[in-house]
A and B are shown apart, each in its own frame.
Chain A
Amino acid sequence: MSDGGGAFAIATFHSTHSVLKAEKLLKEAGLEGVRLVPVPSQVSSDCGVTVRFAATDVARAAEVLRQLADDLQGIFVESAGGWVPFP
């Protein structure tokens, strides 16, 4: 899953709408490398896509995504080939 670099984190949502909103908010907040990816098989999500960013940005992302809290299912950080809930 890692593109020759550091680990990733993802945020999953009930609706595609919120995934796209999250992508927009994270980009506006200046996070690098934000993109939509399919939901990893180890994580369950109501919709098929999730927003991915660098694991080093996870605290910042969690702060930004608080405004989507009612639709947020979870934030996960990549660790040893699996996904660990954050915080």
Chain B
Amino acid sequence: MESTPKLRYLDNGATSFPKPAAVAAAMSHFLLEVGGSPGRSGHRLSQEAARVVFECREALAALFGAPDSRRIAFTLNATQALNTAIYGLLRPGDRVLTTAMEHNSTMRPLRDLERRGVISLEVLPCDGAGRLDLGRLGSALRTRPRLLAAVHASNVSGAILPLREVGAMTRAAGTLLLVDAAQSAGALPIDVEADGVDLLAFTGHKALFGPQGTGGLWARPGVEPEPLFRGGTGSNSELEEQPEFWPDRLESGTQNAVGIAGLLAGVSFIAETDLARIRAHEVALTQRLLDGLRDIDGITVYGPERAADRSPATSVTFAGLVPSEAGFLLEEGFGVLTRVGLHCAPAAHRTLGTYPQGTVRFAPGFFTTKEDIDVALEGCRYLTAKRRGAR
């Protein structure tokens, strides 16, 4: 451990790294060769920029099974998309359901509306692995609440919401389904039509391989959230009122076109590589990680048993070692980069029983290797052995 160990990036739940080379190339090309303001001026560079934004919308619509790409509005991230959906749709007196595994990007806006007396909120319980209790969901839907806001893949336990089943339930109840796809967009199959989704919030910089500062909100026609911001859209410029039509309705101000150029390359990378192949690789790595971790005395692994039933985010705790210290030692000694603590999801940690110290989260991605996993496991074995020796 004398020299600095090679870095093993296992923090793809926070942001995917590295990005495909094509993503960096597309952004460089945009900055050096395209560079106009999309949809603002008539000249060729503005048109070219608008075309990039358009093509990215089309590619995302194809990926999510959305019939009309106009219904995707770009945002900075999943947080802005979730805030647009929540503040833009919910009205005084609305009853709202959510789950005990939500990230604060959903929970904080909902708790804010609840505290201010705008909505009433019911948080549905999940089991110790983070799986939603569908029986409780069924009973709660009987009173026909306005909205269910639910995370597709937990960023803490990796638990996956059975989207199609839940979508069929909300559709039958006439309840809108808002899905937080921050971890799942690009990693798990999503078909908004078949899955019965009404609003899909996603980020660009995780499994879609785009840069930070990209994301979006898709909503079914007829589901019309008010914008969080109003301003210039390059359309209806003679009017002092915000246009009603998508995507302009939700896209005021100059868009992050360079980021969207990168996101387009990321989504194209998924289409070329094939989502099923990406998923198979990540499942294999996650299974290797789970098997190795479960063999180590002094480590508790959270979340569903089989990698095939979960997303790659894998949380663990070490007996007698706080997560922050374990994470520090894994990086110092083995170059293993994890995320420790509460992962902006205190509700999820309460559900798993890991609040308030949180967990150490390993999140393999498409560019993770078996060797990365093996080094992480070696690090975990070293930490637990050292701990036992210290007693």
Chain A interface residues (CB < 8 Å from chain B)? 14-18, 20-21, 24, 36-39, 46-49, 71
Contacts and interface: CB of A to CB of B under 8 A. Distances in A.
21 contacts: A14-B248, A15-B70, A15-B243, A15-B247, A16-B248, A17-B70, A17-B247, A18-B70, A20-B51, A21-B54, A21-B70, A24-B58, A46-B243, A47-B39, A47-B234, A47-B236, A48-B40, A48-B234, A49-B47, A49-B50, A71-B245
A14 B69 CA distance: 15
B42 interface: yes
Interface centre among B41, B42, B57, B247 (most CB of A within 10 A): B42
B39 A16 contact: yes
Given A15-B235, A18-B70, A20-B51, A37 B39 contact: no
Contacts of B57: 17
B50 A16 contact: yes
Nearest to B221: A70
Given A46-B236, A47-B234, A17 B54 contact: yes
Contacts of A21: 54, 69-70
Contact of B245 (A14, A37, A48): A14
A6 B161 CA distance: 58
B38 interface: yes
Interface string B37-73: 0111110000100110010011000000000011000
Contacts of A71: 70, 245
Contacts, number: 59
Q: Which one of B38, B245, B247 has the greatest number of beta carbons of chain A within 10 Å?
A: B245
A16 B236 CA distance: 11
B47 A36 contact: yes
Nearest to A36: B47
Contacts of B40: 48
A48 B237 CA distance: 9
A17 B38 CA distance: 10
Nearest to A18: B70
A16 B245 contact: no
A48 B41 contact: yes
Contacts of B38: 16
A11 B190 CA distance: 34
B220 to A, nearest CB: 15
Nearest to A35: B47
Given A16-B234, A21-B54, A47-B235, A38 B42 contact: yes
A14 B236 contact: yes
Given A38-B42, A49-B47, 13 more contacts: A16-B54, A16-B235, A17-B69, A17-B70, A18-B70, A20-B51, A24-B58, A36-B42, A46-B236, A46-B237, A46-B243, A48-B40, A71-B245
A15 B243 CA distance: 10
By Cβ-Cβ distance, the 5 closest A-B pairs, closest first, are: A16-B39, A38-B42, A20-B54, A47-B235, A46-B236
Contacts of B69: 17, 21
A86 B333 CA distance: 73
Contacts of A20: 50-51, 54
Contacts of A48: 40-42, 234, 237
A20 B247 CA distance: 13
Interface string B231-257: 000111100000101111000000000
